Amino acid sequence: YYKCEDKFNRVQDIRHILHHKYYFNITDWNETRILEMFKHAIHELRDNPVERKMMRLALIILAKRQGPQWCQNKLIKNILLPVIDGSQADVSDIVKAFCVSMLGPLLKPYPMDMKVHCEIILNQLLDMLDHNRK
């Protein structure tokens, strides 16, 4: 929301609320901290539809704001795919299902020059499915 035209000064209102109510200091974009918070929140995801919907919206908004290249490198490769392929231990089926369901909305707005990444991820998912059947 920083890049949007802010006629009503909503960004400052949101910063004020976050700072005074939750003691959250928004001074700069701390990418690694935010990605760690998302990773932790995804791992702690419960079987609550409202919680999943809010997490879904937050991930989509962040990905749209940062662009498809950033989304591919930071969200999909580093957070979602390791959960899906099982390289991280003790991940529930709810979390895996959530990560798989997030791939579609995140990959959909990719430009034509990045569609090859969609095919690669789809092939990885098909390989995992074939491996699980055996």
Task: Quote the number of domains for the chain.
Answer: 1
**Rounded to two decimals, what is the model's pTM?**
0.73
Q: Can you give the pLDDT at residue 7? A: 60
Residue 124 lies in a domain: yes
123: pLDDT strictly greater than 80: yes
Residue 108 lies in a domain: yes
Q: Can you give the pLDDT at residue 83? A: 92
- 8 A C-beta contact, residue 111 and residue 99: no
Which amino acid is residue 81, in one-letter code?
L
Residue 14 lies in a domain: no
Distance CA 91, CA 73 (A): 21
Mean local confidence (pLDDT), 8-26? 68
Domain of 44, in residue numbers? 30-133
Residue 22 lies in a domain: no
Mean local confidence (pLDDT), 13-34? 70
DSSP of 94-128: HHHHHHHHHHHHHHTT--GGGHHHHHHHHHHHHHH
Residue 23 lies in a domain: no
